Chain A
Amino acid sequence: MAEIARDAPERMTAADGTPLKAALARAQGRARRRAFLLVAPLLVFVLASFVIPIGQMLHRSVHNPVFSANMPATTAWFGANPVGTEPDEAAFAALAADLAAAAEARTIGAVGTRVNYEMQGTRSLFTSAGRKADDLEAPFRAAMLDLDRRWGEPELWNTMRNVSSPYTANFYLAAADRFRDLDGGISRVAPERQVYLTLFQRTFLLSALITAICLLLGFPIAHLLATLPLRYSNLLMILVLLPFWTSLLVRTTAWMAILQGQGVLNNALVALGVIGDDGRIALMYNQAGTVIAMTHILLPFMVLPLYSVMRNINPSYVRAARSLGASSWTAFRRVYVPQTLPGVGAGALLCFILAVGYYITPALVGGASGQLISNLIAFHMQNSLNWSLAAALATLLLAAVLLLYWVYDRLVGVDNMKLG
């Protein structure tokens, strides 16, 4: 092999004598490294300030060490005894010791809350037992049952076993309106207590509705903007861009002023005699309010991608179709619309992705029936303080959005995204 290489004098070399191929590879490697170094600071920044926090949230949705950290002896007993073991004297002794220690460390409330997430009404059981745990004496089983009969319930022990493991999928079960029953199987909660599935369903249905309305309203004006001469369309474009640039809260406030019971729209309708003074239409604090305000807010996100696709459609195709005998409707449907599909896809996906995660507008104008899944995440973060459940709900929402984002990237390409 070595002879062959030496016997090929016409093999190309760079000026310093290294083979051209190697020199080229090195130069390209250098260029790649240089390009990457330019991006590296931002990549590190986004990883640290965005990707890691979100990763941590994902971790929190399956990791909740409150019980195992504060009730070590009970957790150890669960570890030593298989599922289905009747709690014996040792178990009650461990429980009493843990309750006393947790009451001392003032973590008993957190432990009670953690168990309460899985089994309603048990928080007070823990806090009141914690107050008296110091006075408990052997035999602990009898003493605990004296305190409250419920300490003997197999369901409670089963729940405690469930929460004693720091890693749990139970928050995902809760987020899907399911729970782990006595034999370790998975059951659905009663239909009247289903919250989350209903809300996910509502979020997706309302987002689809809003996207459809945006498409319906956005298509004609994008078409008008794309077919007018530039000096007129640039002026009309301001009417699309001004809402796009205006603060979200400003636009939501404006809709509140318009849609209120005593607001501009209802007053105008009453003044015109369309409706009576007692027949004012409830347009706010319900789904109608959410849909109207969100359509207004997301419409520019539909119009801009549609416009940029329609602007590049050659009008001679439609003219050719007409000259070949197509009616204007046929020419529009068979020749024009298919060419706009990339814009329709981009706009609809963008609107839908943004609508699914909306928080501010539903929170302000949605009332009870117009709340979306984001509002429930905020509720669990700020009011019920069930952060693991909030993280599990957020993870499910994130998964849905990332799937749509992936589709968007396949269909449109994130590098083709344009803003105004």
Chain B
Amino acid sequence: MALPVYATPLERLWRWVYLAICALVFLFLIAPILIIIPLSFNAEPYFTFTEKMLRLDPEGYSLRWYDTLLTMGMAAPDAPRDAAWWSDSWRNAAWVNAAKNSLIIGFFATILATCLGTLAALGLARPEMPYRRTIMAILISPMIVPIIITATGLFFFYSMTGLANSYLGIILAHATLGIPFVIITVTATLVGFDQSLNRAALSLGASPTRAFFKVTMPLIMPGVISGALFAFVTSFDEVVVVLFVAAHDQQTIPRQMWNGIREQISPAILAVATILVVISIALLTVLELLRRRSERLRGLSPG
């Protein structure tokens, strides 16, 4: 949006002020995320830049906090780093175990949320769906209801049904929290979906299942995958429900971070945070590629 030639000097000045304001807001959004990356390579146990770091002295930087992630909780962290050391780390290191738990819970919660959510989105996108608005509102509500209320409700429910302290309980809870994202992304994809493609397949003799897997599925796939990514991130980032319903030894990455922040805060947290930021950048890239693919499939130009 360039300024028109008839702009007054005041308008030109305002334009620059406006751009400066926007730049500051963007800085506010992105700076906190970028600032933790160099801080995680701090050689000292501080949360701030040391003088050596500011002088770009290599001595000011180290990988010690990343190393802590592998060694914390190990039986023999100082042993020589051979196969036995690595297997010790794999079995005993607190952060490694937390990562394993997070991945297991996230994986199953995502599968559950994506399968059920996609199926429901297909039903919700049909024009003849009864009570569409009400049902949609119920299915989206886990995203809107404050997490502390969900956690409180689940705590009572699980202690009654015996699901407390179990992986199944956390997986079910995380799947519930991820479902709204799957519904929203998949129904958004289905809005642009041309139903006559499906009818064409049926009229050419395909069975409904075959038409679904050969025609509908490939077209809504970008929406399903981005919904699944949302569901996974929701589970991977969730701490409150885990704090309320999980057993003490069921640590996940967010819970471990939570404990770390509350108890012994060290730049090791920043090392984890940096790894998570890198993962989010990867996820964002995947989503952007999916969005472009979806637009191409639907014949929209990226402009």
* B contact residues around A43 at 8 Å (CB): 120, 135, 138-139
The contact string, 1 if C-beta is below 8 Å from chain A, for chain B 113-150, is 00011011011101011101101111111101111111
Q: Interface stretch among B55-63, B86-94, B154-162?
A: B154-162
Stretch at the interface among B17-25, B70-78, B194-202, B213-221: B17-25
Q: Which of A87-95, A190-198, A243-251 contacts B (4 or more CB under 8 A)?
A: A243-251
Docked CA distance A92–B35 (Å): 68
Q: How far is the CA of A142 from the CA of B157 in the complex (A)?
A: 45
For chain A, residues 207 to 261, give those with C-beta under 8 angstroms from any C-beta of chain B.
217-218, 220-221, 224, 227-231, 234, 236, 238-243, 245-258, 260
Assess whether A239 is in contact with B155, with CB atoms less than 8 Å apart: no
- Within the complex, the shortest CB–CB distance from A215 to chain B, in Å, comes to 12
Binary contact readout A281-304 vs B (1 if CB under 8 angstroms, 0 otherwise): 000000000000000100110000
* A249, B275: Cα distance in complex, Å: 13
Contacts of B138 in A (CB 8 A): 43, 46-47, 51
By the criterion CB–CB under 8 Å, are B156 and A230 in contact? no
Contacts A262-B47, A398-B145 known; A247 to B276 CB distance under 8 Å?
yes
Q: Which residues 36-50 of B sit at the A interface, judged by CB distance below 8 A? A: 36, 39, 46-49
Q: How far is the CB of B232 from chain A (nearest CB, A)?
A: 11
A377 to B30, CA, bound (A): 32
Residues in B neighbouring A348, C-beta threshold 8 A: none
A415 near B133 (CB under 8 angstroms)? Answer: yes
Tell which of B137, B188, B236, B281 has the most Cβ of chain A within 10 Å.
B137
CA distance A260 to B129 in the complex (A): 53
Given contacts A32-B130, A228-B1, A377-B152, contact A267 B32 (CB under 8 A): no
Give the complex CA separation of A49 and B142 in angstroms. 10
Query: Are B123 and A401 touching (Cβ within 8 A)?
Result: no
Q: Which of B1-38 contact A (CB under 8 A)?
A: 1, 11, 18-19, 21-22, 25-26, 28-30, 32-33, 35-36
Q: Does A347 contact B (CB under 8 A)?
A: no
The yes or no answer to A405 lying at the interface (CB within 8 A) is yes
The answer to whether A415 and B1 touch across the interface, beta carbons within 8 angstroms, is no
Cα distance, A218 to B21, chains bound together (Å): 11
A401-B145 CB under 8 A given contacts A32-B128, A35-B130, A264-B48 = yes
Chain A, interface SS category: helix
Q: Are A38 and B128 in contact (CB under 8 A)?
A: no
Smallest CB gap from B191: residue in A: A415
* Whole-angstrom distance between the Cβ of A60 and the nearest chain B Cβ: 6
Name the residue on B nearest A315 (C-beta).
Answer: B1
- B287-A54 in contact (CB<8A): no
B262: Cβ under 8 A from any A Cβ: yes
A111 CB–B CB distance under 8 Å:
no
Residues B261 and A415 in contact, CB atoms below 8 Å apart: no
CA A364 – CA B173 in complex, angstroms?
23
Given contacts A56-B153, A57-B152, A390-B152, contact A249 B254 (CB under 8 A): yes
Q: Which residue of A lies closest to B128 (CB)?
A: A31
Which residues of chain B come closer than 8 Å to A417, judged between CB atoms?
A: 140, 184
In the bound complex, do residue B144 and residue A245 qualify as a contact, i.e. CB atoms below 8 Å apart?
A: no
* From B11, B158, B188, contact of A418 by CB (8 A): B188
The stretch from A73-81, A176-184, A351-359 touching chain B is A351-359
* A360–B239 touching, CB < 8 Å: yes
CA–CA, A390 and B142, complex, Å: 19
CB distance from B124 to the nearest CB of A (A): 6
A51 CA to B187 CA, complexed, in Å: 22
Which residue on chain A has the smallest CB distance to residue B125?
Answer: A35
Instruction: Check A39/B157 contact, CB under 8 A, given A360-B240, A398-B145.
Output: no
Which of A50, A267, A391, A398 has the most CB atoms of chain B within a 10 A radius of its CB? A50
B98 near A: Cβ within 8 Å? no
Chain A interface residue count, CB cutoff 8 Å, equals 94
CB distance from B255 to the nearest CB of A (A): 9
Name B248-297 residues within 8 Å CB distance of A: 254, 257-258, 261-262, 265, 269-270, 273, 276-277, 280-281, 283-284, 287-288
Q: Does B119 lie within 8 Å of A227, measured CB to CB?
A: no
Q: Are B136 and A415 in contact (CB under 8 A)?
A: yes
Pair A253/B261 contact, Cβ less than 8 Å: yes
- State the CA gap A257–B11 with chains docked (Å): 39
Partner of A243, one of B33, B152, B185: B33
Q: Does A124 contact B (CB under 8 A)?
A: no
Interface residue from B26, B132, B145, B239 paired with A357 (Cβ < 8 Å) = B145
- With A245-B284, A249-B257 known as contacts, the answer to whether A217 contacts B28 (CB < 8 A) is yes
Chain A residues near B47 (CB, 8 Å)? 256-257, 260, 262-264
Does B244 touch A at the CB level, under 8 Å? yes
Residues in B whose Cβ lies below 8 Å from that of A230: 302-303
Which are the 10 A-B pairs with shortest beta-carbon distances?
A357-B146, A38-B123, A53-B153, A53-B157, A230-B303, A42-B120, A254-B32, A39-B123, A227-B1, A57-B153
**A36-B129, A394-B153 are known contacts; what are 19 more A-B pairs with Cβ within 8 Å?**
A35-B126, A39-B123, A39-B135, A42-B139, A49-B173, A52-B157, A53-B153, A53-B156, A53-B158, A242-B33, A242-B284, A245-B233, A246-B276, A249-B258, A254-B33, A262-B47, A374-B146, A394-B148, A415-B187
11 A-B pairs with CB atoms under 8 Å apart are: A36-B129, A54-B153, A239-B30, A247-B254, A248-B237, A253-B257, A253-B261, A256-B261, A256-B265, A381-B152, A394-B153
Which positions in A face B, CB cutoff 8 Å? Answer: 28, 31-32, 34-39, 41-43, 45-47, 49-54, 56-57, 60, 217-218, 220-221, 224, 227-231, 234, 236, 238-243, 245-258, 260, 262-264, 267, 296, 299-300, 315, 328, 353, 356-360, 364, 374, 377-378, 381, 387, 390-391, 394, 397-398, 401-402, 405, 409, 413-415, 417-420
